[in-house]
Structures are given as structure tokens and as C-alpha cells.
Structure 1
Amino acid sequence: MPLAPLFVHPLPAAPAFTGRAAESEALRLFWQGDEGVISLVGLGGAGKTALAQHFIEWLLANDPPDALFEWSFYDEPDANAFLQTAYSYITGGRMIDAKGAGWFHLLKEALSDGGRYLLVLDGLERVQRQQTDAGGIYGELEDPLLRGFLTRIASGLGKTKAIITSRFPVSDVEKWRGRGYALLDVDVLAPDAARRLLRSHGVEGDDELLDRLTAVYGRHALTCDLLGGAVARFYASHPLRVLSEDEPEDELRNPQEVRLKQVLRLYEEHLPPRELALLCRLCIFRFGVDAAALESIFLGPGKESIAGALSSATTEDL
């Protein structure tokens, strides 16, 4: 009997999901094919999680699995907790006294019964090595049980499949590439998708002009989204006004992190002090927060130590 999906750490949806037709099709083919693991790899803000969430919505509406389990290692990097929670979910709440490798073997057995199971592992970079050193290689999973678990799925574990989002390729399953494992690079949007995202903010101009804009700032999803908002608000939706301030640079001299910084500087230079102060403080939250939470933090007791330019703000301002 199919299980209701369990989103232990619900994935945040993109406010304006656009494009990604090729990537979405690759995920559909992955679900219908024989490979067990696929990684969505890209910089932070590239849209990995939004793409995974978009695919999940399609999947639940068109071809739901027997069970769908989502876990964010960004929110909870404990691999043992992941294995234990996944086992309890797949078995319908079964409670067993086990530790460490015990959960690995129990979950592996539970997933081998032929059910169409999908595991979504978000933010895997939190438990990967970020460099090669004496302790291991770049992209390697730090937990041996999690490493063995993903390797087992890639090599074949019933009909179980796993979608990973990470900033780094998962080196542990690279040897299964093309025969159980696939990697999908989602670093940049396609040119037409980047143009649509800019236009969704009201940015004006023909394709050639918008391509000039993305030549300066890149087609990284978060950068394009923020850029569209900045051009619309601070430059009356006219790209030429912002292009007059920046000329295209060689990408090797201007990596995407620098381009994003350039866009954020537009907000820093043009926002009123109070709005800028609020934006800076909102950056500490991974997910959106409501006005009540902001009011309790910035207008409540002890606000003097953190309020800054918001010291005279009212509930309406927030």
C-alpha cells in the first residue's frame, strides 16, 4: 500500500520557477529508467532545490511513487538520524532497537522489497569533504554508512531511487556513472530561461539586449532573479542604464560569486537605509519568516542590540 510522502524538512519552492525544461525531462527519464541515483550539482542559488521540488510536484501529480521521503542534510547533517527516520517511514512506523550499521542494514532490507521508493537528499554538501587532503578526497561523503547506502542504491537496490542536491559532485558514486548514477549540472539557466526570468520582473528589451545583460552578470538563477528585481526597481526596467555602469568581463576574471556580489551591491547602493537594514537581517534566515516573527525579533525586548536602522521601525514597516 502506498505511503503518504514524508517531507522531514520541506523543500522551499522557487517564487518564480522558470525554464529548466531539459533538466526536468532528464529527471523524468531518470525516474522511468534504470539508474538509481542522480545528483543535481551547482553553486548555491543555482536552483537545485527548486528543480527538485518542481519535479516532485510533477511526480506526485502524474506518476506517484509507493513512498517519497525527503531529508535535508543542510538542516540535519546526522546520517544516523537520516537512516533511522527513513527506516521508520518505509516500514510504517516500526520501532527497533538498533545503532549505527544496524540502521543501514535494516533500511537496505526494507527498500529491497520491490516498492517504487524515491529518496530526496537535499544539501548533501554539508556531509561531503570540501577538499582533498590526508583524510579523503574532494566530494567524498564523510559518513561511511551514508557512503555505503548511496553506493548500494547506485548499484541497484530494488526499485529504489535517490535524487541528491549538492554543490559538489559525489565522488563515492562516480564509478557508477552511466550504469547506476547520473550527474546533472544545473549551474546556469539556458539563455531563453534567463531572459524569461528577467522579463518576469518587468525588465524591457529584446533578446540581444538581455543577452548582453546576462553576459555581464551570468545566468546563475539567483543572480538573474535578483538582477531582474534591481533593474526593474532602480533603473526603470531599462537594462541599458545598468549596462552603462558595467562592461562584460572575461568569465575567468569574473566568476559567478563576484557577479552575484555586483548585483547585491546594486541593492546596497540604491535601497533606503531602513530597507537595507531589514534585508541584511533577513539574510540570516534560510526560509521566509512572517511579520509576527520579525516583530518579535526587531521590535521586541532587547531590540536595541540588533535593530540598528530599524530602531524606529513600526509593525507596518516590517
Structure 2
Amino acid sequence: MHYSYFTYHRLPDQCLVQMLPDLSEASLEVSLAQPDRPTSTTRSEAIPAASPGVKPVALPATPPSNSFDLKRAPKPLDEWVGRGELLQNLDQDWDSADRCITGLIGFGGEGKSSLARHWVDRVMQSGSPQPDGVFWWGFYENLDVEQFFEALLRYLEPTLDLSQYPSSSAKVSYLQTTLHRNRHRYLLVLDGLEVLQHPQGDDYGLFTSVDLKNWLRDFAEATHGSFCLITTRAPLLDLIDYRTYTHREVERLSTNEGVELLQKLGVNGSEPELRQVVQQWGGYALVLSLLGSYLVDHCNGDIQQLPADLAPTATEAKYDRVSRVLRRYDEALTLTEREFLEGFSAFRLPVPKTALTLLLPDLAADEATALNIVECLVKYRILRYNPDTATYTTHPLIRDHYLQRLKQHPDRAVALHR
């Protein structure tokens, strides 16, 4: 991934125009001499601070009872491979007193969310300093900023009367005070934040929400002991001028990692054959996962049966490769399965198991058939099931593919939204 752009850093008595380097480095750490931004030698020495206009509160002496809130997080991958250096870098960020926000930046489908989930589990199971609590929010499932703030406040203070803080700005002020005065060390994960960043133009990468921007910039002041991990496709330009922020690229799988992934999925073939497929598809994690599942379910796992005409073209855009594989899947799916996926794509929120039959009115009286369909789609890795919430989701790129198909049938789209 390559970006080249100007950004303005607001410093005392001056305005510095800084050209940022190419961000294709595996890790870009920005460290500017900014005496107005506090740091601490250890996280436990964070300086309490209160936001103006917010009444001081007596904070609980113990972490929230539901201290590890991962119900919105994706299920851990059974076939995890590689990413060793990135995981070590995240460990260093977590352990460092000079880092409080890390951004995992990469193309959609490179595995940012899975990496974040794997690392959180790693922290919770390792000998590293343990967080007092973990809170995960997926913005693709719910991009309402105010609901995010409400959920975070309920997590931090379950008995808080939110009616006293009716606006987002009021919630932000209270959150700022809570984190600054709180001695607990929380690990917050904001997943898929690109939906709240400008996708193009002069404002590319900047936050579309002023309240979210203000809260994260205050969080970056590091006058607390907590840590925030963000996954997004776009660079976090609103945070790049803080030395407490670290930018880390999530890039393609290496050839060896891609081969290991195909093997764990059940694909059989010689080492050269597997390496050729990984290199042909550019080590693209999402595509390799879909290809592996396709081979196992429709070609007995034999790499030699991979259709030659499925190979990507040299000039094909990265995201078009996902659609290429899904179009081949569409040929193998039944009409009912395709219509189900088109209906599923109309909903951004996770779909509860109890609502599956609503996506196919013809199956309303046959719940067993609907469950059988989703079980097959989960096996194909097109849908994902979260047992903690009994809901189904799909990757945003897969959703986009079937949403475009649904738009070709406007009558069905209208009926689904009634």
C-alpha cells in the first residue's frame, strides 16, 4: 500500500508542513519533538486530568464485572498462520509507556480484524501485563458514533445514568474524565474504522465525526494507562502527529505463510504447486481462504483441479480478485443459496439466527432448510458465525459483491427493507 501526502502539524507558535514517507514500510513510527504533549515513564504513572465542564465522579475501585467484552469480535481463526513480526510489534506497543494507540492499516481482506483478535487472545493468554478489561467495537456492524460512546460508557460504568449526557460531545467529555481519572488499564479495539474516514479527496483518511476525532486525539495525550488498537484501510491522519501513535502496515501473506494456510484448509498438492497459487494471487489472505475452501468443497482439495481460467489477470485490481473468486462460487451455489446471500447483504448489522428465515420468505415455514443453507455458507467461509451472540456476519468485501447482485433486482431489495 502506498500513500504520499502532506499533513499539517499544529505545534506551539508554529505550523510545520511535513512530507510523510511512503507508508509501504512494515512499520512506520512517527516521533516528533512536541513538548506540549505529555508522556510518562510507566503506564501506572499516567497523570489524572479532568475535562472542563465535567463534574468529577467517584470511580469504581475494581474493573467492570464484564471486564472482557469480546461479543462483537470475530471468532478466532482455527487456521491461523504467520504474522509473527507484526504480533511482536504489537506486544512492544502494548508494553511501551510511550505508545497508547496503534493503527493496523491495510487493504480490505488482508486479515486486520483476525490479526487484532488473535493478538488480543495472545495478550490474555501470555505472561505480558494483563489488561483490566477488553472492549471491542466493530464499526462495520454499527457505525453510529453515539451508540459506540454509549456502549463504552456502559462498559466502563454499568450504573451510569446516560440520560444526564444526552449529546455525543457530553459523552465524550465524560469519557475523557473517566479514562484520565481511572487507574485501570483497558484494551480497546476499534475495528473497521474506515467507514468513519473520508474515502477520497483532500480529506482522505480524516475522520468524518468531530466527536470521534476529539476523543481519539484526547486519548492520544497518554494521561492514562489504557491502550487502543484500531483497524482501518485508510491512514489515520488525525493521529499521525502524536508520538504516542504507531502506524503498522498489514500486508500480504508471505509465500510460506500462504502455503501453510492452504494446507491447514485441507488443500493437497506439491510444494511448488501451492507456492505458484499463492504467488499468482499475491498472498491475498481473503482470496486464499476462499480458494482453499472452494478446492476442498468442490475439487476434493486437489490443487491440480483449480480451474485455469480462474487465475487473475496481471492488471486486475485487488478487490476485483475477490469478486472473481465469488463469481466462481456463484456457479457452484444453488439458486436458493445465491438469493439468500443477496438478501443477507442488505443488512449491515449481524443477522440473528432467529431471523434467517425472513431472508427467504419461501422458506419461512422451514427453519431447518434455512439453517442448512447457512451452515454450508459458513463452511465455504462466505458467512461467519459468532456463537457468543448467535449471529451471522460476512466480510465487507463479500457483502459488497452480493449487494451489487441484489441491486440488479430492485423489487427484492424493496421487499427486504419493508
- Aligned ranges 1:10-49 → 2 under 5 Å: 10-19=72-81, 20-33=83-96, 34-49=98-113
Contact 2:101 2:227 in 1 (8 A): yes
* Alignment deviations for residues 194-226 of structure 1 (CA, whole Å, 9 cap, x no partner): 112211222122332212112222322211110
Q: Which has the larger helix fraction? A: 1
Aligned match of 1:102: 170
Q: 1:231/1:88 Cα in 2 relative to 1: closer, same or farther (>3 Å)?
A: closer
Residues in 2 aligned to 1:39 and 1:175: alpha-carbon distance in whole angstroms:
13
Residues in 1 aligned to 2:76 and 2:283: alpha-carbon distance in whole angstroms:
16
Higher mean alpha-carbon deviation, 164-173 vs 183-192, is at: 183-192
Asked if residue 56 in structure 1 is aligned to residue 116 in structure 2, the reply is no
Q: CA deviation at 1:163?
A: 0.7
Q: 1:39/1:266 Cα in 2 relative to 1: closer, same or farther (>3 Å)?
A: same
Q: How high is the TM-score relative to the length of structure 2?
A: 0.64
Q: CA deviation at 1:92?
A: 4.7
Residues in 2 aligned to 1:125 and 1:151: alpha-carbon distance in whole angstroms:
17
- Aligned ranges 1:79-94 → 2 under 5 Å: 79-94=145-160
The gaps in structure 2 that reach 5 residues or longer are 1-61, 374-418
Asked if residue 189 in structure 1 is aligned to residue 253 in structure 2, the reply is yes
Q: Aligned AA for 2:199?
A: Q
Contact 2:344 2:359 in 1 (8 A): no
SS in 1 for 2:161: coil
Structure 1 residue runs of 4 or more that deviate by more than 6 Å after TM superposition: none
Aligned match of 1:131: 200
Q: 1:246/1:121 Cα in 2 relative to 1: closer, same or farther (>3 Å)?
A: closer
Out of 310, 316, 323, the residue aligned to residue 254 of structure 1 is 316
Q: CA deviation at 1:139?
A: 0.8
- Counting aligned pairs with the same residue, the percent is 27
Note the aligned Cα RMSD (angstroms). 3.0
Q: Aligned AA for 2:172?
A: F
Q: 1:104/1:212 Cα in 2 relative to 1: closer, same or farther (>3 Å)?
A: same
* Alignment deviations for residues 128-185 of structure 1 (CA, whole Å, 9 cap, x no partner): 111124xxx1011111221122122223131121111112111101122xx2111222
Q: Aligned AA for 1:171?
A: L
Residues in 2 aligned to 1:21 and 1:273: alpha-carbon distance in whole angstroms:
41
Aligned match of 2:187: 118
SS in 2 for 1:112: helix
Residues in 2 aligned to 1:68 and 1:205: alpha-carbon distance in whole angstroms:
41
Contact 1:39 1:164 in 2 (8 A): yes
SS in 2 for 1:111: helix
Out of 318, 325, 330, the residue aligned to residue 263 of structure 1 is 325
SS in 2 for 1:173: coil
Out of 135, 140, 144, the residue aligned to residue 210 of structure 2 is 144
Aligned match of 2:63: 2
Q: Aligned AA for 1:201?
A: L
The gaps in structure 1 that reach 5 residues or longer are none
Q: 1:198/1:285 Cα in 2 relative to 1: closer, same or farther (>3 Å)?
A: farther
Residues in 2 aligned to 1:285 and 1:79: alpha-carbon distance in whole angstroms:
18
Q: 1:13/1:58 Cα in 2 relative to 1: closer, same or farther (>3 Å)?
A: same
Residues in 2 aligned to 1:42 and 1:242: alpha-carbon distance in whole angstroms:
28
Q: 1:282/1:105 Cα in 2 relative to 1: closer, same or farther (>3 Å)?
A: closer
Residues in 1 aligned to 2:154 and 2:371: alpha-carbon distance in whole angstroms:
45
* Alignment deviations for residues 13-39 of structure 1 (CA, whole Å, 9 cap, x no partner): 254341222222222221111211111
Residues in 1 aligned to 2:290 and 2:268: alpha-carbon distance in whole angstroms:
15
Q: 1:92/1:270 Cα in 2 relative to 1: closer, same or farther (>3 Å)?
A: closer
Contact 1:18 1:193 in 2 (8 A): no
Q: 1:93/1:189 Cα in 2 relative to 1: closer, same or farther (>3 Å)?
A: farther
Q: 1:80/1:6 Cα in 2 relative to 1: closer, same or farther (>3 Å)?
A: farther
Q: How high is the TM-score relative to the length of structure 1?
A: 0.82
Contact 1:191 1:219 in 2 (8 A): yes
Contact 2:340 2:359 in 1 (8 A): no
Q: 1:56/1:100 Cα in 2 relative to 1: closer, same or farther (>3 Å)?
A: same
